[in-house]
Amino acid sequence: MKVWVCTCFDTSFDFCEQKYNVRYDSFDIEIIRGSSEEGHNLFIETTKKNAKLANEATRRFLSEICWLYQSRVEIIAGGGWASHKTPTNVAFRKFARIGGGIDLTSYRQIASTHEQKIALGIYREAFSSNSIFYKFLVVLKSSI
């Protein structure tokens, strides 16, 4: 049975295009740019059996966006799956988006090992949160 993993998220930079289709791990990801009042939507079509893996790929992909574009990224809603592609038009935005800074036209996955994926996830948490306990990671990256 085919299902859709649907995630609504916000970024501190806006996307250049209205829609992108990218490949991450074994999944095809569709990103729809949100409006000025609503979050962006990310969709993965998969099977019920692979929904958990698709959901994890969503989070790892968003961590790469944070790293590659130095954009804060926060998941607003999602984590489940549905039998059809349902946009989550959440009228809550945490960040004031700066013009089109994220262009996924030539996106290629950068993290391939489990350790790299974990490191990017921790980095996204540090970069996107206001927690002083994570901020040293942002300073560490800027000195690399």
Rounded CA separation 114/13 (Å) = 27
What pairs with residue 40 in β-bridges? Answer: 9
Per-residue pLDDT of the chain (144 residues; tens, 9 = 90+): 899 999 999 998 999 999 999 999 999 999 999 887 888 999 999 999 999 999 999 999 999 999 999 898 988 887 677 777 776 666 666 667 777 789 999 999 999 999 999 989 888 888 887 777 766 666 555 555
Global confidence as pTM:
0.85
Contact partners, residue 108, CB within 8 Å, separation at least 6: none
